[in-house]
Structure 1
Amino acid sequence: MGTQETHHGTHSTAPGSPPAPAPLPVPVTAAGRAALDAIVTRPSAALVALDFDGTLAPIVENPEDARAHPGAVPALAALAPRVAAVAVVTGRPAEVAVRNGGFAGVEGLAHLAVLGHYGAERWDARTGALTAPAPHPGVAAVRAELPAVLAAAGDRPGIWIEEKGGRAVAVHTRRADDPQAAFDALRAPLTDLAARHGLIVEPGRMVLELRPPGMDKGVALLEHVRETGAGSVLYAGDDLGDLPAFAAVEKLRSDGVPGLLVCSGSTEVGELAARADLVVPGPDGVVELLASLAARMAD
């Protein structure tokens, strides 16, 4: 499928006026083109769902420093009133994504839901309410054993542990001297550790996350489609954790629901780009796409 990045840039109209939105890019697949047409012509039936890190926010060395692209909230606020629903589907705790995204108290975002921890948590913009289940006991057990497991695997400098609100724990290798070698060396021992405590390992871009089974972005997306009654779907992501959401959109297509798959371009996750209908150049491209959609729907 689509492996080309599409980026048109913004175009100014007259001196002193704000830049005009870029024209909509053309998906490289027939299914993608049909879905984009359905979303634009019947926006009130469309669900727009997006990953956070790498999609709405640039990837940074320290995930705590990640913030939404400066154009993301304005673009979402312009788009959300015109569609059935907007969702941010993320592996982060919902409250962290809300804080780092700047989503709370924004006019126009009443239709936004943040589905955190792969859908196990939910924050609704309309009410500000956060719902979440009790933490899985395996997470605390894994956290206690992690230092010994990392030491046995070579205790490579630069590897660090990210706590995820007691609901998951992630081991990052991006700061290691050889991030990919560290990632490969840790994958098997961390998988064994997770399995001993009833957890699974979710691999990502130089990160291995140990979390409870049963929820992923595909499950969360399908549930949200059913809840909202959406008649078309756009999903944008950048990482291996977004593959279940891509599979969910492909299932929806087989059931007759138009779906557009967008990859927030990265050379690190070629599989996602290969399955996408449209590849855009990272969060810049995602924001440009959202703004262009909002402008088209306003015409």
Structure 2
Amino acid sequence: MVKTLAGCLIVTIAALPLFTRHVHAEGLLSSAASESRTDDPNPPRKKKRSHEHDDCDDGDSLGAALVEAGIVALFSAMTPRRTTTTTYITETGPTVSREILDLPGYFSDYPYQHEFGYMLMGDEWYGIGKTSSIRGSVEYGSDFQDLSRVGTKLLVEGTSRWGIDMQWDEYFENIATGGTDQLTLGDINLNYRIAQGYHSQLRFGLGANMLEDSAGTELGLNFTGGYDVYLGKPWIWSSEFDLGKVGSADLFRFRTTLGMQWKRAEVFAGYQYTNLEGIELDGFVSGMRFWF
């Protein structure tokens, strides 16, 4: 049942772009999109660094590399780094050998399953903890004016410390002159968990950003970092940042949330700030995260 739910969640997040429809309108989102394009017919007044932009060649090669890196990361996340063999004598007498992970860090089924944190550190958790973790979330954001956002997030990681994370945001804006503008902003990253423990984990990674609206698609590189802290049952504090490019525009995003955990479900609320070459898309965020 759990594997079925996890599979459905991954498919939903991956398929979301196929069901989005982009409407052309003038507003904040159109301004943000125009900042990412050097060949925009109505470029912004401020000076921009000039460079050639080839949507076809650059987009295809970066997209292919992104898919390739994602597949490698997914399999790497599910595969232990290396194993060692330990021999011990049981109470009944026979000698038993078993293979355990080197520098093991296992995962609970969900936070606070064992009354503390999430990860399980040490050989004593062999056979109790999992070697992989999947968490996915759906959320809604708003600036309580004309801008709203529907978002999804996915993080898959394993005892190898490698993982892959994705974020997909669909922005909507009510235009004063009538109509609705729409913008898609997403990223996918290969990350590495550089610090881990019972009560917190820190990871950094590299990947790619994507922006899409009715005028086309822009891509760019991304550097990301994330930090999860388990403050004590049932509280979870999660923060994350992204720093990179999308098209010709600089992109910075920061988010922080505080959640309440109950078994495999977490309800959270917080704030997400996104700056795309000076265009600010920020607001309150709330949603649910599921752990598998």
* TM beyond 0.5: no
Structure in which a larger fraction of residues adopt strand: 2
Where on the TM-score scale, by shorter chain, does this alignment land: which range?
under 0.3
Structure in which a larger fraction of residues adopt helix: 1
Q: Max radius of gyration: which structure? A: 2
Which structure's relative contact order is higher, taking Cα pairs within 8 Å and 6+ residues apart? 1
